[in-house]
Structure 1
C-alpha cells in the first residue's frame, strides 16, 4: 500500500501537470487507475474509539489490581485470560468488518494485558525474582500476537518489552553485547519485511538504538569509548541500510532506507557528543574499543563503499567516507596529550560534511538533515567548550570554512551542474 502522504502529493502533482498541459486527462485517469486503493484513515470516530479502548483497558487493569487480594486465585487467572480473549476476539470482529486500526488497537491491548498478567501471576505464585525473564516472556508473547494478527501495535509492545529485557541483561552480564536480543530483533525485522510496512520498519529500526546505547554504556568509563562504540553501531546501521537499498527487492530497499536514516541520525548525534564532552571525559592515552564493535563499524563502512562502487552511487560513497572518518576519529582523539584536539575536530567536522553531501547526492532528506544537525552540534561544541582559547577556536573555524569553500569549488567542477 502506498503512503497516504505520497498519494496526496501525487494527486496534487497530477492536477497541476494536467492544468499546465504536461499530461492529458486520459493519462491522469490511466495513472489513477493503476494505483492501489488507500487504506482507511484515522478519522475522528476512529480516534475517539482508540481513546475509549485505551481507557477501558486501563480501567480493567486498575480494577483487577485494586481487588487483586480479594479475588480467588482461580478467578484471577480467569479474569486475565478473559481479558486477553475478549480483546483479541473483538479485534477479530473489527478485522472482519474491515476496521484495521481498531483491530490493531485490540491486539495491542491484548498484548498489554498479557504483560500485566505475567506480572500479577508472578506476584500471586511468588515466582523467582527474574524481572528480565518476565520481560522476555512478555516480549515473546507480544511478538507471537503480532505475527498472528499483523498488529503494528503488538509489535511495538514486543519491541518495547524486549528493549527493557536487553537493558536488564546487559546490566547483569557487564561483559560484551547481549546477542539474544539480536535474534529477537531479526525476527521482528522479518515481520516488518513480510508486512511491507513502513511503520513496522520504523519500529524495528528504532529498537536498535536502546540496544546500542545500553551496550556502549554498560560500565562507567571516563573517556570516549562509549561514543566510539556508538559510532561503530551507527556505521553498521547506516552501511547495512544502504546495502539493503541496493538489493533487487522493493521491500528490502524500503526497509533499508529507514534503517540508514536512523544510522545517519545516530552518527550525527555521536559526532556532536564527542566534541561536546571531549574536554571533560577524554583521558590522554589510548582508548581500547571491543574488537566486535570495531568489526561492526568496519563492516558498515565497507558495505557503503561497496554500494557506491558497484552501483556508481556517489552518495553511498560519501556516506562511507563519513563513517570512515568517524572511525578514524576514534583513533585520533586519544592521541591528544596537551592542548586542544584540533585533528580530531577536523576529522569529525569532515565526517558530518560528507554526510550532508551524501544525503544531497542521493536525495535523502533525512540523511541531509542529520548531517546539518551534526555540523551544528560539532560547531557548537568547538565554539562553546569550557576549556581552551576562544581565539584559536575562531581561527580553526575560519580555516575549516576556507577548506569547505575550496571543496565546494572542486565538487562544482566534478559533479553535474545544478541550479543554485
Structure 2
C-alpha cells in the first residue's frame, strides 16, 4: 500500500497535468511534502534492530553457559563492559550519522542490563522476584531513554512495564495486591515519550492502559470500571473530532486519538455486555448497552470514518462483534444448528451490504470533487 506522501505526490502530478495548478505551485507542494514527511524505519534499520536483539541474546546465553567457569570479578566486568560499550558506542555511532546501528547498540545494552540483573542476583544470592527485577530493568531503560533521547529505548521501557503488568496481573489470584502502580509507570513513560519524541510509545501506553482496565474488572465491580471508561472514551472521541488540531498538539498521536477512543468505548461497553449477559442477570441493561454500542459505531463512521480507513475497518469489526454477541445472548435458545448457519449467512450478507454502501458514500464526495 502506498504511503500518504506517495499518494500526495501522485495527486500533485495529476493536478499539474490536468492544469489545476501551475508548475511553481506543484514544486512548492512537493517540497512541503518532502519536508514534513515522517521518516519511517528502513528495511536496514529493522534488520539492525533484529540483529541487536539476537546479539544481546547471544551474549547473555554465552555468559550464562560459561558462568561457573568464569571468575566472579570477570563476570561482573564483562557484563558492565557490554552495557557501557553498547551505550557509549551507540552514542558515538549516532553522532556520526549512523542512527540505526547506534539505536541497535542501545537495545543491546538495555538487553544486557536486564540479563545482568538476573545473573548478578543469582551470583550474589540477592533477594527478590521476577517482578522486582522487571521494575529495576524498566527504570534503568527509561533513564537511558531520557538521557539518550531514544525512541526505541522508550518503546522498550513500555514493553518492560507491560511485561510487569502481565506478570503481576495474572499472579493476582495467588496474591493479595493488584498492580495499581502500573498507572504511575504509564504516566511517567507517557511524559518521557514527549521528550524522546516517541509516538509509538504513546500508542502502546494507551493500549496498555486499556489492558490494565480489563484486568481491573477482575478486582472491582465491572460497572464501576466500564461506565467511566465509556464516558471518558466518548468525550475524548468528541474532542478529537470537533477540535482535532488542538487536541493532537497536546497528545501528539498523529491524528489517531479517535481510533483509540473508539477502542476504549467499545471495550467498556463489551465489559458491560458480558456483565449483563448472564442469564440470571439479563435485563434491559444489555439491550441498552447494545444499542449504545451500535449507535457509537455508526457515529464514529459518520464523524471520523472519512478521514481514517483504519477507524472504519475497526468500526466494522466492532459491528460484527456486536451482531455476534447479540445473537449469542438473545437468540441461542431459538435456533438450532442449521438455523445458526442461516442466521450467520444473513448477518454476514447484511454486514457486507452495509460496508459496501458506506465505502461508496465515503468515496462519493471525492469523486464529485475530482470531476468538478
TM over 0.5: yes
Gapped runs of 5+ residues in structure 2?
Answer: 355-360
Partner in structure 2 of residue 263 of structure 1:
261
Shift of the alpha carbon at 1:78?
1.0
Asked if the contact 1:360/1:368 (under 8 Å) is kept, the reply is no
In structure 1, the residue corresponding to 2:3 is in which secondary structure? helix
Inter-partner Cα distance in structure 1 for 2:237 and 2:195: 17
Cα deviations by residue, 1:70-90 (Å, 9 ceiling, x for unpaired) = 222221211111111111122
What are the superposed Cα offsets for residues 28-64 of structure 1, whole Å, 9 maximum, x if unpaired? 1122334426576544444443333332222111101
What do the CA deviations read for 1:284-335 (whole angstroms, capped 9, x no partner)? Answer: 4xxxxxxxxxxxxxxxxxxxxxxxxxxxxxxxxxxxxxxxxxxxxxxxxx4x
Does structure 1 residue 353 correspond to structure 2 residue 295?
yes
Name the stretch that deviates more: 122-131 or 136-145. 122-131
Equivalent runs, 1:174-323 vs 2, <5 Å: 174=176, 178=180, 180-218=181-219, 225-226=221-222, 229-230=225-226, 232-233=228-229, 235-237=231-233, 239-240=235-236, 243=239, 246=243, 248=246, 250-255=248-253, 257-269=255-267, 271=269, 275=273, 279=277, 282=278, 284=280
Partner of 1:308: none
Structure-2 separation of matches of 1:110 and 1:157 = 12
Structure 1 match to 2:152: 153
Deviation at 1:69, TM superposition (A): 2.1
Counterpart Cα distance in 2 of 1:160 and 1:94: 25
1:306 match: none
* Helix, strand or coil at the partner of 2:246: coil
- Give the aligned partner of residue 58 of structure 1: 57
Q: 1:248 to 1:43 in 2, by over 3 A?
A: closer
Question: How many aligned positions are there?
Answer: 339
Distance in 2, Cα, partners of 1:361 & 1:243:
12
Whether the 8 Å contact between 1:108 and 1:153 is mirrored in structure 2 is yes
Larger mean CA deviation between 181-190 and 55-64 belongs to 181-190
Give, in whole Å, the separation in 2 of the partners of 1:40 and 1:98.
15
Relative to structure 1, the CA distance from residue 175 to residue 55 in structure 2 (aligned partners, 3 Å threshold; closer, same or farther) is closer
> What residue in structure 2 maps to residue 381 of structure 1?
325
In 2, the alpha carbon distance for the partners of 1:146 and 1:244 equals 29
1:32 to 27, 30, 33: 30
CA separation of 1:237 and 1:135: change in aligned 2, threshold 3 A: farther
- Kept in 1, the 8 Å contact 2:273–2:289? The answer is no
CA shift, 1:200, in A, is 2.9
Counterpart contact for 1:111–1:142, Cα < 8 Å: yes
* Inter-CA distance 272–240: structure 2 relative to 1 (3 Å threshold): closer
Aligned to 1:327: none
Whether 1:6 and 2:9 are equivalent positions in the alignment is no
Q: 1:101 to 1:30 in 2, by over 3 A?
A: same
Structure 1 residues 30 and 10 mapped into 2: Cα distance closer, same or farther (>3 Å)? same
1:196 to partner: Cα distance: 4.2
Distance change (3 Å), C-alpha of 1:271 and 1:11 = same
* C-alpha RMSD over aligned residues: 3.8
Matched residue, 1:368: 312
Contact residue 91 and residue 104 of structure 1 kept, 8 A: yes
Answer yes or no: is the 8 Å Cα contact 1:192–1:200 preserved in 2: yes
The answer on whether the counterparts of 2:222 and 2:271 sit within 8 Å (CA) in structure 1 is no
Cα deviation, 1:199-244, whole Å, max 9, x if unaligned, reads: 232222222233222222348xxxxx54873564354355346546
CA distance in 2: counterparts of 1:364 and 1:52, whole angstroms: 37
CA contact (8 A) 1:349 1:375 kept: no
SS in 2 for 1:22: coil
Query: Could you tell me which residue of structure 1 aligns to residue 20 of structure 2?
Result: 22
Partners of 2:199 and 2:252 within 8 A in 1: yes
Change in Cα spacing, 1:227 to 1:126, as seen in structure 2 (3 Å) is: farther
Post-superposition, which runs of at least 4 consecutive aligned residues in structure 1 deviate over 6 A? Answer: 417-420
Does 2:125 correspond to 1:126?
A: yes
